[in-house]
Chain A
Amino acid sequence: MAENFLSCQPDEYYQRFLDHEIRPDGRKLNEYRYLNIGIGSISTADGSAVLKIGKTTVICGVRAQLTNPPILKPNHGYLVINVDIPGISKGLTKYTNDDEAYTISQIIQEMVSNSKMLDLKSLGIEHKKLSWVLFCDIIICNNDGNALDACLLALVGALKNTRLPHVTVDEDEDIPIVNSVTKHELVLREIPVCVTAAMFRENYVIIDPNTEEEKLSSGSIIVCSLEKGGISYMSSVGAGLEGERKVEMFERAKFHSERIRKELVTACEEQAQSMEY
C-alpha cells in the first residue's frame, strides 16, 4: 500500500513524513547517516581510505609517482583527482553518467585548492628537476545519495594515510635515490569537510539526502567548512534557502563537520598506532 503511494506520488509521500519532521528511513531532518571509516585497507596504494555513509560506499586510493615539476612552479608537485562512477554503483538499468563523475571531481578539486589543505610545495623534491605527483583515484562503489561528501572525506582520509619515501637526487648521475625504509607523512594544513543538504518543495532542508531524496529535491546546498573556522566553498542551487535560513544551514554544517572531522582523525590515529605495533 505504502509502496504504491510512493511509486505513484513520491512528492506527497515524502510530504506526509516531513510534516512530522521525520524522513521515511527514520532519520530526523538534521540527522546524518552512520559513518564508517576504514583507513589504509589497500596495501598496494601509498595511501587509501574506504568510507561508508549509510549505504553510499566510496574507496579512495593514492598513488605517488616521481615526475618533473610544472614549468611555471618549479618547486611544486601535482595533485590529480579522478572520480570514477562505475555501472555497478547505480544498478544495471543505467549507464555510467560521465558528467556526474567529472562534476564531482571538479567540485572536489575546487574544495581542496580553496581550503589550501595541501601545500604543493611540500611535494617538490628538487627545484626544476623532481617532484611528486599524487594520483588520487576515487571510486564510488555504491551510490545511495550524497556521494560528494563521501568522496571528499575519503580523499582526505587517504591523504592523511599517505606515506612518501624520502627521495634525494644523486648530483653526479642526476638520478633519484628512493629510501623506502623511512617514510614521512603528508602535512595537511587543513581538514575540509563538506556537508550537503537537499531542499524539498522550497520549505524543508534535508541534511545528507539519499538517492530518492536527491531525485525529489527542488534544490541543493553544498557547504565545505574548515577546521580553523570559516567556509571555503559554498554552492546553493534553487530558491527557498536564503538569508537567515542559509546562516542556520552554515551553523548546521559546522556542527556536522566538527563531528565528522573528529571521527576521521580518530580513525587515522588508530590506524597509525596499529601500524606501529
Chain B
Amino acid sequence: MIREELKEVDLGLLSKSDGSSRLYFRSSLVTVSVQGPAESRQQIDLANEAILSVHFCPRKVQPSSPTENVCVASIKKILESVIARSLFPRAIICIAIHEGVAGSCFLSTIFNACFLALLDAGIAMLHSFVALTIAIPNEISSNKDPIISPNKEQEFEAESVFVFVIEMPTKRELFCHAWGNFSPQHYQQCLQLALGEADKILLFYRGEYSKKLANLKFN
C-alpha cells in the first residue's frame, strides 16, 4: 500500500552532509540534511546535552501556508525529545529541511524525511517515530471512510485533516495537528487508524535502511 503513494526515497544523497534523505511521497517532495554532532559556538552550548538547530527552507521566500510554519516550530520540540541529546554534550546538531514540492501530506513527509536523515547520519535516538496524514471526507463525497495519506484533491476537499506523529515501538502519540471541523469521535477514529498503519511505515523504514547497508557492503 505504501509503495503506491511513495514515488521516490533516497538516503545519503548529499556527500557533504553527515546524513541526508529525499522523500517523494504522494505529491510532496522534501530533502533533509543532517550535520552533526559538531562543535558549537561558545555562546549557545549546553553543558549536559546537544543543541538542536532546525531550519526550514521553503521554496518561495514567504512560506505558502500557515500550517507548515507552525509545525516547523513543533518539529524542533519533537526531535529534541527523540534524539539522545545527553550523549553529545556541548555539541550542535543541525537539521535543514528543504521544501521541494509542498503537495498533499506535506507535514508527514517532512517528519518521515527527518527520521530517515537522522538514521542515515547515525545519530542516536531514544525512539523511532513515524508520521502520517488522515483526512475525513466531507458530507457530499461518496466515500465516508477516513482516507489515509490523501492526495491533493482529497486533502483540499476534506472536512478535516489530521497529521499524527507516533512514537515507535511504544505507540505513543508525540504530535497531532488537526484542522477543519471535527469532533472528539473523529479524532479517536483517526488515531486508531494511525496506530494500525504505523507498523507498516516502520517496516518500510527498515527495508530502506537495510538496502542502504547492503549497498555499502559492496563498496
Contact = CB atoms under 8 A, between A and B. Distances in A.
A238 B179 contact: no
Nearest to A240: B172
Size category of the A interface is: 20 to 34
Contact of B70 (A106, A232, A240, A251): A106
Given A106-B70, A107-B66, A114 B180 contact: yes
A107 B70 contact: yes
B181 A232 contact: yes
Contacts of A236: 173, 175-177
Given A235-B74, A242-B191, A114 B181 contact: yes
A235 B188 contact: no
A99 interface: yes
A250 B184 contact: yes
Size category of the B interface is: 20 to 34
Contacts of B74: 235, 237
A193 to B, nearest CB: 15
A231 B173 CA distance: 19
B174 interface: yes
B84 interface: no
A233 interface: yes
A197 to B, nearest CB: 14
A238 B182 CA distance: 21
Contact of A234 (B73, B187, B188): B187
Given A233-B178, A233-B179, A234-B177, A239 B81 contact: yes
A191 interface: no
Contacts of B173: 236, 239, 241-243, 246
A251 B185 CA distance: 12
Contacts of B183: 229-231
B35 to A, nearest CB: 21
A237 B69 contact: no
A194 to B, nearest CB: 13
Given A237-B78, A239-B174, A231 B182 contact: yes
Nearest to A81: B66
A277 B182 CA distance: 42
Contacts of B200: none
Nearest to B82: A239
Contacts of A232: 179-181
A35 B74 CA distance: 28
B187 A246 contact: yes
A234 B176 contact: yes
A110 interface: yes
Contact of B66 (A109, A219, A243): A109
A237 to B, nearest CB: 5
Given A230-B181, A231-B183, A247 B70 contact: no
B66 A110 contact: yes
A106 B173 CA distance: 24
Nearest to B178: A234
A102 B72 CA distance: 12
Given A109-B66, A231-B182, A247 B188 contact: yes
B192 to A, nearest CB: 9
24 contacts: A103-B69, A107-B66, A110-B179, A114-B179, A114-B181, A218-B81, A231-B178, A232-B179, A232-B180, A236-B176, A237-B77, A237-B78, A237-B174, A237-B175, A238-B174, A238-B175, A239-B173, A240-B172, A242-B173, A243-B188, A243-B191, A246-B176, A246-B184, A247-B184
Interface of A: 99, 102-103, 106-107, 109-110, 114, 218-219, 226, 229-243, 246-247, 250-251
Given A103-B70, A110-B70, 6 more contacts: A103-B73, A106-B69, A106-B70, A107-B66, A233-B178, A235-B178
List the 9 shortest-distance A-B pairs measured between CB atoms, nearest first: A106-B66, A242-B173, A234-B178, A239-B172, A110-B66, A250-B184, A247-B184, A237-B74, A236-B176
